[in-house]
Each structure stands twice: as C-alpha cells, then as structure tokens.
Chains A and B, each alone.
Chain A
Amino acid sequence: MKSPILRRLFLFLAIMGPGIITSNVDNDAGGITTYSVAGAVLGYKILWVFLPVIVALVVIQEMCTRMGAVTGKGLADLIRERFGVRITFYAMVGLLLGNLGNIMSEFAGVAASMELFGVSKYISLPVAAFLVWWLVLRWSFKVVERVFLAACLVYFCYIVSGYLAHPNWGEVAKALVVPSFSFDSSYLVILVGVIGTTIAPWMQFYIQSAVVEKGITVKDYIYTKYDVIVGSIMVNLVAVFIVICCAATLHLKGIKIETAKEAALGLAPLAGAGASTLFAIGLLNASLFSASILPLSTAYFLCEAFGIEAGVDKSWREAPAFYWLYTILIVVGAGLMLIPNISLIAVMFWSQVLNGVMLPFVLIFMLKLINNKDIMGDHVNTRTFNIISWVTVVIMITLSLLIVGTSIFQA
C-alpha cells in the first residue's frame, strides 16, 4: 500500500461493482439471443456497432453514477421529487411491465438452457424460481456475493466458445472498425435490437441506486468512472464474442436461428460439443444472474418511489408490499413461461416495445436532472459533455422509436 499505484488499485477494487454488475446483468437471456441472431443472420458486419455502443453506454451510465454520487439519491427518488408523483407513477408502471417482460425472458433462458442439458422446463422453472426467491431472502449476503462474482467470470465462457469457433480474425478485426450499413429491413431490425438490448431503461435506475447504496461520494467518484468504463467494455466484449461465435459457424453455413437455444444446438456440429456446452452454460448463468437481480430491484424501486417500506432487512410483516411484489414478479415471470407453447419471441417483442417507449423519457429526465444546478451544484454537465450526451440521447431516442416502429410494423 506504500506505492501510489497499488493504493489506487486498491481503492478501485473497493469501489468497483455497480458498473460491472450492472453491465453483466445486461448480458441477459434477451441480450444473448439478440447477439446470437445478429451473428447468425448478419455475420461479422454488425461488429462495428459495438464500439459506438461502448461510448453511449459509458456516457449514459456515467451520468447516472454522477447523479448518485452527488445527490445520494436514486433516479426514481429524483424523478419523484423533481417531476411529481404522476410522472413517477407512469415511469414506474412502464418499468414494472418492461421488467416483468425481462424477467420472463430470463426464465425462458433458464428453461431453454436446461432443455439443452435434457431437463424439462416443468422441472427446471419451478426449481429455478424457488432457488432465486430463496437465495435472495434467506442466504447470507456473503454467499450471494461470492456467487455473483463467480457468475461474472462465467461470462468468459462465451469468449472461449467464440475462440473454439475458429473465426477468421483478420475479418473480425476489419469488421470491428469499418462501419457497414444497409437499409435492408432485417439489417435495421437487428441493429436496433442490438443497441436496444444493450441500453435499457432499468439499468439507469439500477446503477444509480447501486452507487447510492454503496455510499460512493463525489470524492471517490473517479473510481466509479473507471468501474463504468470497465463494465461497459466487458459487456460488449462478451457480446462481440457471441456474435463472432455465431458468425463464424452458423452464418457461414447459412443456418437460420431465432433463439439462443437454436444457436447452441447449431454450434455442436460446427464448432464441437465443447463450444455448444459452453454456450449453454453461459446462457444459464446469464439468465439466473439477471433473474435474481431484476425482480428484487424492481420491487425495491417501486416501493421507494412511493414511500412504502422496502428492503430485505425488514420482516415480511414490516414490508408486506415489497415482499409480495417481489414474490409475484418471480411467480408470474416463471409461471407464464410454464404455459405450453408460449412464444418467447412475443414476450421479447412486447418488452422491447415497452423499453423502447420508456427509454426516451428516462433519458430526457436524466438530462434535465443532471443539468439542474439546485440538484447537482457544480457537478452539472459541462458544455462539451452536454453536446456528447445530447447527441447520444437523440440517437438513442431515434433508435428506440425505430424499435417501436419496426416491432409494430412486423406484427
């Protein structure tokens, strides 16, 4: 600890978390499905998108973490205090429905990956739902945390999987930096889907609360910035490898897929059983990981915004609304997926539409809040940063409208 570099590293390690965990939750079942489809249908030529996405992700998350560090309040709190209860109510209903859709797709991911290992969803879903519910309510935090940190490492499965697919690295490198664009409708749908799944409204709420709960202050804030950057790069690195893996195999052979499960199945004959199994493990991990965080955080934001008792340290009798909401989200999320022949595509479609409608509002609220001197004091956006963030936000809004438009058009 004598050397300044070591000391800094130590501080960074102590503060990291919000950015990295948020990003990893983001690579959930829906994300993996979207990336697999993108790789299989478009091949390498979608890869260039990930560099700008990293920038957008960093810009947006940085603002949330800054708001959290400066105000010590969550995003839902700030919206309620600044814009009143009605707007908060609509935002929360949107968040609730959007997240319910996400939770369903997480459980769908659990079901799909367990089916790859030969376990029926009628067994895997109840077990997973109970495990998630129980894990959060009954296990000690230390155990949960270790599980989570380990889970973050499991994402590297995809990197190994991508390597096993023997891609043409020269082409990959070129595709990463050279943008290619087409007005082909399938190209647009996938492009918008990839961006939409990477930047979702719930993340803004989640990362800001995480910063607040961790008690990160303006003083230590610089390390959180690194945390956000590392997290954003990590999530996109994993995404890039999923695309590479599918592009090098499925796309090359012209195999069409619609789900992550089909991707894993399609990989086996082309890249070997190892790559396929790793792909399935990655999907299971991502689904469980996000399924444990989303219901809890959703219940928490809602209760906080409306001033209802919340928190796992309260008893069921002290915070009934919180526990019921949490339980219902899991039961409904997992329960609906038990319906035979339910279409995951339809679920993802509606949650994508909802997220797409929500995102512009959330981003605009954020920009209004972060430029409010009463709230942020000297930490409002600088002029340059405002330009960057407005450009990002305008692009994101256009894309979300495109998502909504294309989704409805497709339907």
Chain B
Amino acid sequence: MNNKKEKVRVLGDFFYSQIHRLPIFDHEGLRVGELRDLAIRWEGNTPEVTGLKFAKGVPQHIPVAQVETLNPGGFQLKGSLSAESLIPLQADEIYMGKWLMDKQIIDIKGAKLVRVNDIKVLWLQRGERKYLLPVAVDIGLRGLARRLGVEFIFKKRKNHFVWWQSMQHLEEKTANLKLVSEPSQLDKLHPADLADLIEDLDYKKRTDFIEDLDVETAAEAMAEMELDTQKEIIELMDSQTASDLLEEMPPDEAADLLGELPEEKADELLNLMEPEEAQEVRELMEHEEDTAGALMTTEFMALPPEITVADTFPRLRKLAAEAETIYYLFILEEDETLLGIVSLRELLISEPEARLESIMQTRIVSVLPDDPHERVTELIDKYGLLALPVVEKNGKMLGIITVDDVLEILLPDRGSLETFSNFFTSKRALK
C-alpha cells in the first residue's frame, strides 16, 4: 500500500451490519440521523462510498467527505447538517445495502452461488481525504451469526470473504451502471462450472445471465448443461438470441436441443440461423434417436488425399478451431467418400514431403448412420478410438462420433441421481 505517494492509513475496520443504524452526529454532537444505507459508485473495478443515507424516506444523502470520524459509537460530521450540503442519488450510484445485502452472488473462485451475509467496509485516510471503501462480501457462517447478534459462537471461525475481484453480482445495478462495462469475471470459470452455476440459478436469472455472456462462452456452457435446462433457457430467450446461441453450439448438441422443442419453435429458430449451419443441424435432426446418426457431429477435419504433410499444417490451423477433435484427419475424395484416416501422431512423425494418401490408414473402422449406439460404444471400446467415422453404405462420410459423446451415454446422467428440484415435481413422467 505504500507504493503510492501518500500513505494510506486504516482508521477503522467494520462490517456493514455493525455500522448500519449507527447514529450520525454533527460537529456539536447533535444527533442528525442514523445510517440507513450507503450510496456507492464504481471507480474502476471496486466501489467507493459517496454518501450516507441518514433518514428513512429522505432521498438525499450526506456526502462522505463531510464525515470527520467513524467509530463504533457513530459517525461524526465536520460541520452541521444543512440542506444545501445534501446530494441526491446520482444516476451512476446505488444504495449498497438494498442492492447487495442478503442477495445472491457468484463466488468465482469457489464457482458457487452464495448469499451475502455481510459486507466488509474499511475507513481509510490518504493525505487529507478519508474514504469509506467496501472491500469484500462476507458469505460465511460467522457473518450470519454476526447479523443475528451471536457472533461469539463462531469466534474461532475465520470470516469467509469474497473480494470484489472474484465476485459476480446477479442483481442489476442501475441501467447506467450496466453501461460502464466491467470486465466479466465469468470467463475465468470452466464452462462445466459455469453450466453448474447456471443450473443453480432461478429460471429468470438464467436467461438474463446467458444473454450477458459472450456468445461463445454461453454456447460452451450450454453444451455442458442438461437437456432439460437447455430447453428451458432457449424457450425463454428471444428467438434471435436463441438462434445465435444455437449456431455457436456444436451441431450435434444443437440438434438434440431442437429435437426437444415444439416443431414450430424449432423451425422458427432454424430459419433464423445461418443457412449453412441450419442445414447441418437439420440433417442431424433427421436421424432416429439412439442411432449413430443422432450421436454424430459434422464438424471433423476433412482433407484431400493428394496434399503433402507440410501443406497440411497450415490447413490444420484453420480447421482446428471448428472441429470437435483434431486427433484424426479424415481423407476424403471430392465426392466425400472416405479413403483413409491419418492420426495426429502419424502426421507429426512423417516426412514433410510425404503425401497424405501414402501415410493414411486404409483399414477403416466405421459405423452406418442407422447403427444403434451400443455398436458405437462397442467399436470405440474395442479399438481404443478417440473418434469413430459415420459412413453411408456408398462410402460417403457423414460425420464423427467422439469418445466424449459416448461417455455421456455410458455414464449415468447426473440428473437421474434425482436432484431435489426434480423430486418436487413431475415433468419427465408426463412427457
């Protein structure tokens, strides 16, 4: 803290619950009100208190610069309280207590949805100026006990803080504050964690939340969710956003999801999607459930037989972004007939001038689109494959099934370990 020109001194260390309702005195010791709430404004990534709301129903507050001292006995002002010195809540300010206390936030580090029990506030001095800074929210049991007036029970327990940097709030601040773009913390989360979090949110927040994420992150998280949740989210979104999201999702996941929606809704969304992507998804949707065709994705690495290993690498760079797996390259003729497969390992150890057709493996293990998924699992297991091509009778390659798609079938779905939410009601049996 000493790297700044002026030294920062901590004058006091409080919790919001301790200063809430503290009396406010003017310079002569006359009681002018009590702390009802704190007006805060965002300065960069952290908030700063700008004023004290001092009475119920009074829309103005006392600017924080007027505060001389703050101690457990109350606030003392520099001068007397005059109507001119009061300021109303500005457009970029918000009442902290009302906005944050007892609300849900996301703890990014713990990747969990938690409830705010208290807020840590520091009373600082730098040079002549004094600051009141909220620094962290308390989500621990000790904070809860403090609110209930029985903190002594948990005296030995550490407070459980979430710092501003690692929290994401769910309640909107104000329309204006939303425009001030704050770097979203959510990118730091793994899509699977993000998906779990979104599943924990209530349905209204879910949709808002997804709409706030960038489309790619949202699509990745969506792909990790259970089909039922995906469906609920899509149904509540406006169609344009929903179709953008579907475009970003892997086509096999998108097809599964659209297959669950009512036909009209699915058609509407497909029509809004880019024609090319929509076409892929449509084709995937035509396959019967539990067949290889329904499992597969059309995003694989297809390369012509005549190019050399050296020429392959620049192409790989381009294709790799889209493809579901990069460990197998599929060598296709112009009419999309599958000729052979080159694994990434073979590619790496081959001479740069060798042509793909000379190094490709032509003993191909593949399935037909109508084969049942048991056959797929069996083959993947038997040959230890990372992906299995789906090929029509005439040799035309349609797509691949990756090992993680198969895992989804083999592992009991987490939802069937009956969440409480499911326990409540009866949505599946009635389908």
Task: Name A's B-contacting residues (CB within 8 A).
Answer: 13-14, 16-18, 21, 71-73, 80-81, 84-86, 89, 136, 139-142, 144-146, 148-149, 209-210, 212-215, 217, 296, 300, 306-307, 309-313
Contacts and interface: CB of A to CB of B under 8 A. Distances in A.
Nearest to B196: A313
Contacts of B116: 307
Interface in B352-390: none
Contacts of A212: 202-203
25 contacts: A21-B425, A72-B205, A73-B202, A84-B102, A86-B148, A89-B148, A136-B423, A139-B418, A140-B416, A141-B422, A142-B416, A142-B429, A145-B428, A148-B426, A212-B202, A213-B420, A213-B424, A213-B425, A214-B421, A296-B423, A312-B417, A312-B418, A313-B414, A313-B417, A313-B419
A92 B232 CA distance: 30
Given A81-B103, A212-B202, 5 more contacts: A71-B204, A72-B205, A141-B418, A217-B203, A313-B419
Contacts of B345: none
B144 interface: yes
Nearest to B201: A72
A17 B425 contact: yes
Chain A binding surface, main DSSP class: helix
A146 B416 CA distance: 14
Contacts of A71: 202, 204
* Interface size bracket, B side: 35 or more
Interface in B166-204: 202-204
A378 to B, nearest CB: 15
Given A21-B424, A307-B104, A85 B419 contact: no
A146 B417 contact: no
Contacts of A313: 414-415, 417-420
B287 interface: no
B202 A72 contact: yes
B114 interface: yes
Given A85-B117, A215-B203, A312 B148 contact: no
A144 B428 CA distance: 12
Given A72-B202, A73-B202, A89-B148, A214 B424 contact: yes
A213 B421 contact: yes
Contacts of A209: 424
B258 to A, nearest CB: 18
B427 A17 contact: yes
A66 to B, nearest CB: 14
Nearest to B104: A307
Given A311-B419, A313-B417, A85 B102 contact: yes
B424 A215 contact: no
Contacts of A307: 104, 114-117, 139, 144
Contact of A85 (B148, B204, B416): B148
Contacts of A16: 426, 430
Contacts of B203: 72, 212, 215, 217
Contacts, number: 112
Contacts of A210: 424-425
Given A80-B102, A306-B115, A140 B144 contact: no
Contacts of A80: 102, 115
Chain B binding surface, main DSSP class: mixed
A337 B102 CA distance: 38
Contact of B423 (A306, A310, A312): A312
B106 to A, nearest CB: 12
Interface in B95-109: 101-104
B112, B147, B418, most chain A CB atoms within 10 A: B418
Interface string B397-418: 0000000000000000011111
Nearest to A312: B420
B236 interface: yes
B431 interface: yes
Contacts of A89: 148
A164 B423 CA distance: 35
Contacts of B101: 84
Contacts of A85: 102, 117, 144, 147-148
A392 to B, nearest CB: 25
A205 B420 CA distance: 15
Contacts of A86: 147-148
Contacts of A141: 415-416, 418-419, 422-423, 428
Contacts of B427: 14, 17, 214
A134 to B, nearest CB: 12
A142 to B, nearest CB: 7
Contacts of A144: 418, 423
Contacts of A73: 202
Contacts of B144: 85, 306-307
Contacts of B147: 84-86
Contact of A13 (B104, B423, B430): B430
Nearest to A85: B147
A372 B104 CA distance: 20
Given A17-B426, A142-B428, A149-B426, A311 B236 contact: no
A89 B148 CA distance: 8
B420 A311 contact: yes
A71 to B, nearest CB: 7
Contacts of B414: 313
B420 A146 contact: no
B234 to A, nearest CB: 12
The 4 lowest CB-CB distance pairs between A and B, nearest first, are: A307-B115, A141-B418, A72-B202, A72-B204
Contact of B429 (A72, A149, A296): A149
Contact of B417 (A17, A140, A148, A300): A140
Contacts of B104: 307
A285 to B, nearest CB: 17
A14 B429 contact: no
A214 B425 CA distance: 7
A134 B236 CA distance: 36
Contacts of B205: 72
A165 to B, nearest CB: 32
Nearest to A137: B418
Nearest to A299: B420
Interface in B224-257: 232, 236
